[in-house]
Amino acid sequence: MAIHHLHAAVKAARRAHEVEVANSSAEHGPWFDELLHAVPMAVIMAAAAVEAQANEAIQDILDGMGTAQATDAQKVLLRELKDSSASNTLDKCRHVALVFGQVPDRGRTEWEEANLLFVFRNRLIHFKPAWDHEEVHDSKWVRALKQRIPVYAPYATAFQFPYGFITYGAAKWAVTTALAFAGHIAPILGVPNRFDGQSYALP
Task: Quick: pLDDT tens for 186-203.
Answer: 999 999 999 998 889 999
For 113, residues 6+ apart whose C-beta sits below 8 A from its C-beta are 148, 177, 180, 181
Calculate mean pLDDT across residues 134-148.
90
pLDDT at 1: 95
Residue type, 101: G
Q: Tell me the average pLDDT of the chain.
A: 93
Q: What is the pLDDT of residues 114-140, one digit of tens each?
A: 999 999 999 999 988 887 777 878 899
53 contact partners, CB below 8 Å, separation of at least 6: 2, 182, 194, 195
Binned at pLDDT 50, 70 and 90, residue 86 comes out as low
Chain-centre distance for alpha carbon 19: 22
Burial class (CB in 10 A: 0-12, 13-18, 19+), 109: exposed
Query: What residues does each domain of the chain span?
Result: 2-189
Q: Is the predicted pLDDT of residue 151 greater than 90, yes or no? A: yes
What CA dihedral angle connects 64, 67, 69 and 73, to 10 degrees?
-100
From residue 73, how far is each of 76, 80, 185 by CA, in Å? Answer: 5, 11, 23
Please tell me which residue, 181 or 132, carries the higher pLDDT value. 181
The listed range with the strongest mean pLDDT (11-20, 86-95, 120-129) is 11-20
Taking only the tens place, the pLDDT of each residue in 25-43 is 999 999 999 999 999 999 9
